[in-house]
Amino acid sequence: MAVQLLPDELIIEILSMLPAKSLLRCRSVCKCWLNLISSTKFKLMHLHNFNQLNPRYFVRRLLEAEECYDVIFDDEDFTFDDATQIEFPFDPIRINLCFRIVGCCNGVVCLCDDDGYYTSTSDIVILWNPSIRRKLTLTLPEFDSIELEETFVVLGFGYDKMSDDYKVVRLTYPPRSSIRPPQASVHFLFPPMFGKNKLVHVEVYTVKTGVWRKVMFPDNLRCFYIHYNWSQTFSNGCVHWIASDPTPGVSFSHRSIMTFDITTELFGEIELPEFLAEESLRVSVVGESLALIHSSDLNFDGLKSGSTYMVMVMKEYKNPASWTMLYYRHYAEVDLGKPLRLRNNGDMIVELENMDLIMINNNEGYYVYVCRDCVEEDFDCRTYVDRYEESLALLDVGDSVPNKEAMEALMMN
Amino acid sequence: MSKKTLTLMSKDKQLFNIEEHLAVQSVTIRNMVKEDGASSVIPLPRVDSETLALVIEYLNRQQAPEEDEDYVKKFVDERGEIPTLLELAQAALDLDIKKLMDAACMKVADLIKDFTLEEVREALRIENDRTPEEEKAIRDEFQWAF
């Protein structure tokens, strides 16, 4: 008697809970599984089901001048060990010790090989899916900043649910001295390629098209100047950066959150709570809510006496009236360090000056070391923490990344 | 007032009684009760008696809602054999008991995640319709995952 087949619905459900690595194998099981696993509908279902069961974080640290990457379970312990380490297959070619991580979204990490301080348009950008070891190296944009003096570049990375596509946005800034607010009647000092009313040149790359294309930058944003040492947070379909008002004389003091909607490709601005609008801040998320971290440790200048951390969450997205304080912690006796990211439960990951990582408990304010094997390094912006979702992204585009072992074996032959 | 009881009949014609308010956790049964009062026996032609006994045991659980999640996990954990889990998942699919189906599928996924191709085919009753050459071509692309 032939074995009774299982309903498709059951098979799909089971497969959607498998790790990406198992799915790569399962593609060989039979023809219909290959079609199933390659379909967009299944990929999205897997992204949701698997990651709901396996919430994890992606952490990059710089240990003895080596980039170390871990994928860590989002549980109480937040433990680093040999099993959490993942292989990093790239070597930066620029003078920087490690890549800048633009963002990490739906299983894809966006890396930029810049010089560690300023990003430029000639820097190589790579999209990397560690779960299935695939990468896509972006073509260089058409817009060439070499003809411009002192420009710097800000990148953003996110996933567009509507078109099931990953996008990278690149903002090229003119020198600050030449930035004029649109309403000012002072003549423009921009090089001609910026165009008459364009303060910032914007291009968007989509994985599906494989090309960069120009996008309009609006002329009605007050705060649009992003610090060169930028970092982004992707949530609610938008990239978020902290930006300042570049008006001369205002001295960068007024800030807000600049947003870029990955689907509509429109820029926007979210007001900060007024008492924080002139402070150094970091954008993060708690669950699905946009969050802000204010800390005495975000400014390295000045004398420190203990550390303070305040976390605000935006209960209703894009409604500045809904900024609510989640907690405020003051540690009078110790200088802790720089806040990196909030976890889904509100716990804060903080990087100490010696690059050890601690986790501040959201309810009770105590902190525990999560990682203390770091060595002293005098670098800023090297440690990166973000949510990690395993996915099958880039399966049908880009190239596979050989692991180092395989590379060495190849060289030997 | 006595609680209303329903009778379910398995594929092999065994009868099981269950209180109606517990049985309607199954969306399928709830809809049947709503439609015609389901006064007579409810036949479940795809569920054998062993599996139905398990489903009834699950429906009869008395758990506080906050402990329920752990209970379902433990319930399927204790039935760690893949064929049993698949029967259970299929019954839960037919009866539309989402939590039970999810938990059973999750357990199966956990058990097969490191299986070889042949083991996966056997466990999930799939016939190999690929030639060795086709299989090799897909395999070579992601050799490290095998």
Query: Which chain B residue shows the shortest CA-CA distance from A406?
Result: B144
Interface mutation vs chain A, best among B47, B88, B120, B136, most A CBs within 10 Å: B120
What confidence score (pLDDT) does residue A17 get? Answer: 97
Residue B93 has pLDDT above 50, yes or no: yes
Q: What is the mean pLDDT of residues B87-107?
A: 94
Q: Which of A14, A24, A30 sits opposite B142 (nearest CB)?
A: A24
Query: Which chain B residue shows the shortest CA-CA distance from A4?
Result: B125
More confident residue, A180 or A237: A237
Q: Which of B93, B102, B138 sits opposite A28 (nearest CB)?
A: B138
Contact criterion met (CB < 8 Å) for B126 and A30: yes
Instruction: Determine the distance from the C-alpha atom of residue B113 to the mean position of all C-alpha atoms in its chain, rounded to a whole number.
Output: 19
Contact criterion met (CB < 8 Å) for B144 and A406: yes
Residues of B in contact with A14 (CB under 8 A): 89, 105, 108-109, 112, 124
Query: Which chain B residue shows the shortest CA-CA distance from A133?
Result: B142
Two tokens, residue B53: 């006994």
More confident residue, A128 or A181: A128
**Model confidence band, residue A148 (pLDDT cutoffs 50, 70, 90):** low
**Model confidence band, residue A191 (pLDDT cutoffs 50, 70, 90):** very low
Two tokens, residue A305: 């006496």
Number of other CB atoms surrounding residue B143 within 10 Å: 11
Contact criterion met (CB < 8 Å) for B126 and A29: yes
ipTM of the complex: 0.92
pLDDT, tens digit (0-9, with 9 covering 90-100), for B13-59: 999 999 988 998 999 999 888 887 656 788 898 899 999 999 999 99
More confident residue, A286 or A412: A286
What confidence score (pLDDT) does residue B38 get? Answer: 57
Interface mutation vs chain B, best among A9, A14, A396, most B CBs within 10 Å: A14
Two tokens, residue B131: 């030639």
pLDDT, tens digit (0-9, with 9 covering 90-100), for A76-126: 888 888 888 898 888 877 667 789 999 999 999 999 988 777 788 788 999
Contact criterion met (CB < 8 Å) for A34 and B138: yes
Residue A189 has pLDDT above 70, yes or no: no
What confidence score (pLDDT) does residue A182 get? Answer: 47
Half-sphere exposure at residue A321, Cβ-oriented, CA atoms within 13 angstroms? 0
What confidence score (pLDDT) does residue A89 get? Answer: 87
Residues of A in contact with B48 (CB under 8 A): none
> Under a CB-based contact definition with an 8 Å cutoff, are residues B41 and B7 in contact?
yes
Least confidently predicted of A4-8, A20-24, A29-33, A345-349: A4-8
What confidence score (pLDDT) does residue A206 get? Answer: 96
Residues of A in contact with B86 (CB under 8 A): 6, 10
Contact criterion met (CB < 8 Å) for B121 and A30: yes
**Rounded Cα gap, residues A123 and B112, in angstroms:** 43
Residues of B in contact with A7 (CB under 8 A): 90, 93
Percent of chain A with pLDDT over 90: 47
What confidence score (pLDDT) does residue A1 get? Answer: 38
Chain A nearest-CA distance from B99, in A, is 12
If DSSP codes are grouped into helix, strand and coil, which group holds residue A226? strand
> Under a CB-based contact definition with an 8 Å cutoff, are residues A60 and A66 in contact?
no
Q: What is the mean pLDDT of residues A367-395?
A: 78
Q: Which of A9, A21, A24 sits opposite B93 (nearest CB)?
A: A9
A202 phi and psi, to 5 degrees? -125, 135
More confident residue, A298 or A181: A298
Chain A nearest-CA distance from B4, in A, is 32
Least confidently predicted of A165-174, A202-211, B31-40, B125-134: B31-40
| Radius of gyration for chain B, computed over Cα atoms and rounded to the nearest angstrom | 19
Query: Which chain A residue shows the shortest CA-CA distance from B46?
Result: A4
Which distant-in-sequence residues (6+ apart) come within 8 Å of A293 by Cβ?
A: A281, A282, A284, A309, A310, A311, A339, A342, A348
Least confidently predicted of A31-35, A37-41, A105-109, B37-41: B37-41
Q: Which of A6, A18, A132 sits opposite B86 (nearest CB)?
A: A6
Residues of A in contact with B72 (CB under 8 A): none
